[in-house]
Chains A and B, each alone.
Chain A
Amino acid sequence: NAGVTQTPKFRVLKTGQSMTLLCAQDMNHEYMYWYRQDPGMGLRLIHYSVGEGTTAKGEVPDGYNVSRLKKQNFLLGLESAAPSQTSVYFCASSYSGSSSGANVLTFGAGSRLTVL
């Protein structure tokens, strides 16, 4: 049982290049999320999805696009990378069904992106 898998784990881009981060989960979770973590800061939500074919903006969505064509996959795209997007990106997933609000996020291992 792999849980949440992110690829690639590391990537270096030049300013203006594009790339896609892939997140895959095998837990049949309805909800998926992309967060970014910058030094000295906690995680901030970029985009999230409550089901196949649906996405929504989080706290810091500018410069990113997402797609969820299949329930198990959530893609994060950077169309024109900027140095400000240098960060560690975390994908996460969760169930939708807890009555107590305790739908714990399961995180991937993170993807470190550097934009030069």
Chain B
Amino acid sequence: AQKITQTQPGMFVQEKEAVTLDCTYDTSDPSYGLFWYKQPSSGEMIFLIYQGSYDQQNATEGRYSLNFQKARKSANLVISASQLGDSAMYFCAMREGWSGAQKLVFGQGTRLTINP
């Protein structure tokens, strides 16, 4: 069964607009963590933001915020005031359990294109 689902293969947004990238997950483990990574055309994987399953507040990191809806099992990434440099692939990933290795399961990704 797909553990991480990103339903938007591609998104096109005007510069300076806010954008929401969808991510739903499936787990029966009460302890889990959700990550978002950015992959620009150069290919490297850049960590953006993290949300733990017990975190009460939604995570925020600068222009990135995570809209965590536990009951719906969704962890959408919100980018405010988008910039041309935000054009990239974005991956949602999950780890189950709290200790041990970070065996992340990744979604298929969303390709975000910011138009000037």
Contacts and interface: CB of A to CB of B under 8 A. Distances in A.
B52 A103 contact: no
Interface of B: 4, 31-33, 35, 43-45, 47, 50, 52, 55, 91, 93, 95, 98, 100-109
Contacts of A43: 45, 91, 93, 104, 106
A104 B52 CA distance: 12
A88 to B, nearest CB: 7
Contact of B103 (A58, A88, A106): A58
A74 interface: no
16 contacts: A31-B101, A40-B108, A42-B4, A42-B93, A42-B108, A48-B103, A59-B105, A90-B45, A101-B33, A101-B52, A101-B98, A102-B50, A105-B47, A105-B104, A106-B47, A110-B43
A33 B102 CA distance: 9
Nearest to B44: A109
Contacts of A100: 33, 52, 55
A21 B30 CA distance: 36
Contacts, number: 65
Interface in A24-46: 31, 33, 40-45
A5 interface: no
A45 B104 contact: yes
The 7 closest A-B pairs by CB, nearest first: A42-B106, A107-B45, A101-B33, A102-B50, A43-B106, A104-B47, A31-B101
A103 B109 contact: no
B101 A41 contact: no
B38 to A, nearest CB: 11
B30 to A, nearest CB: 12
A58 B101 CA distance: 11
A96 B98 CA distance: 10
A104 B50 contact: yes
B43 A109 contact: yes
Contacts of A48: 101, 103
